[in-house]
Structure 1
Amino acid sequence: MNLEENKKNAIAFYKMAYEGKPKEAVEKYIGNEYIQHNPDVADGTEGFISYFERMQQEYPNKSIEFLRCIAEGNLVSLHTHQTWPGNDEYVTMDFFRFDQQGKICEHWDAIQQIPKKSANPNTMY
């Protein structure tokens, strides 16, 4: 496993899909299978493509910033800051599993809206 290559590919995959090119992202970075654990997205590549095409149509002005990327074994974790229309902001943590060929084959995530006020002075990043 090439940890640096997997990190680079996880970021490129997610950025490409998020910015409206999910078919291209799948063709370039997904292996023979794609197991999806997000309950809002159907399993497999077609579910992934449909979800991100719909998000691009409905929210073309959304943005994403990659704040952390950590790799261990065949897993890569991304910590991101997303801004959606109306300045709704979210912190996300995505986990990708890579197969033996260095392709993404499984995904988990957790998403939390950033609250307007906090009980502490720390950011969620």
Structure 2
Amino acid sequence: MDKFKAKAEALEKNKKNAIAFYKTAYLGKPKKAVELYVGENYKQHNPMVGDGKQAFIDYFNRMHKEFPEKSIDFVRIVAENDLVSLHTHQIWPDNDQYVTMDFFKFDDNGKIIEHWDSIQQIPQTSMHNNTMY
């Protein structure tokens, strides 16, 4: 297999794994998500979540317990080199809606080792008619 094809396949695999990781954790199984998709060390950049695997598990367990009725849709997925970005639409209780952008860094084994995110609540009104997506 040539290098270009191998790289393209790795990018596609990382994209699928980023989605599977996020869905699994978001829907209440963060320990399973970490076991399947996270590498040796996990570095967190979200200031609301502690660093490391256990802090991630604890955070998502708490979120699932406090907000079991939430949904997530993956609007777009972009991958480059060892990074995957997920652009999502989340709906929380009382129709509280958010746009999120999550970035995941993968190691050479296709495991997630680092995470950044940005979250914005979707406002009720806007100065234009464009969507957030």
Shorter-chain TM-score tier: over 0.9
Runs of 4+ aligned residues of structure 1 deviating over 2 Å after TM superposition are none
Among 36, 49, 56, the residue aligned to 2:57 = 49
Query: Displacement, 1:122?
Result: 0.4
1:90 deviation in Å?
0.2
Query: Structure 2: how far apart are the matches of 1:58 and 1:84?
Result: 11
SS of residue paired to 2:15 = helix
Cross-structure match for 1:79: 87
2:28 to 20, 24, 32: 20
Instruction: Indicate whether 1:67 and 2:75 are aligned.
Output: yes
Given candidates 11, 35, 40, the residue that maps to 1:3 is 11
Q: Which runs of 5+ in 2 are unaligned?
A: 1-6
- The AA in structure 2 aligned to 1:28 is L
Cα shift at 1:25: 0.2
Q: Provide the residue aligned with 1:104 in structure 2.
A: 112
Between Structure 1 and Structure 2, how many residues are aligned?
A: 125
Please identify the structure whose Cα radius of gyration is greater.
Answer: 2
Q: Percent identity?
A: 67
TM-score by length of 1: 0.99
Q: Do structure 1's residue 33 and structure 2's residue 44 form an aligned pair?
A: no
Cα distance in 2, alignment partners of residues 41 and 47 from structure 1: 7
- Name structure 1 gaps, 5 residues minimum: none
Whole-angstrom distance in 1 between the partners of 2:13 and 2:109: 12
Which residues in structure 2 correspond to 1:109-120 (within 5 Å)? 109-120=117-128
The residue type paired with residue 18 of structure 2 is A
What displacement does 1:19 show?
A: 0.2
Name the aligned partner's letter for residue 13 of structure 2: E
Question: Counterpart amino acid of 1:12?
Answer: A
Query: Which secondary structure does the structure 2 equivalent of 1:91 belong to?
Result: strand
Distance in 2, Cα, partners of 1:104 & 1:8: 12
User: Following TM superposition, by how much is the alpha carbon of 1:31 offset from its aligned partner in structure 2, in angstroms?
Assistant: 0.3
SS of structure 2 residue aligned to 1:83: strand
For 2:76 and 2:55, the matched residues in 1 are separated by 26
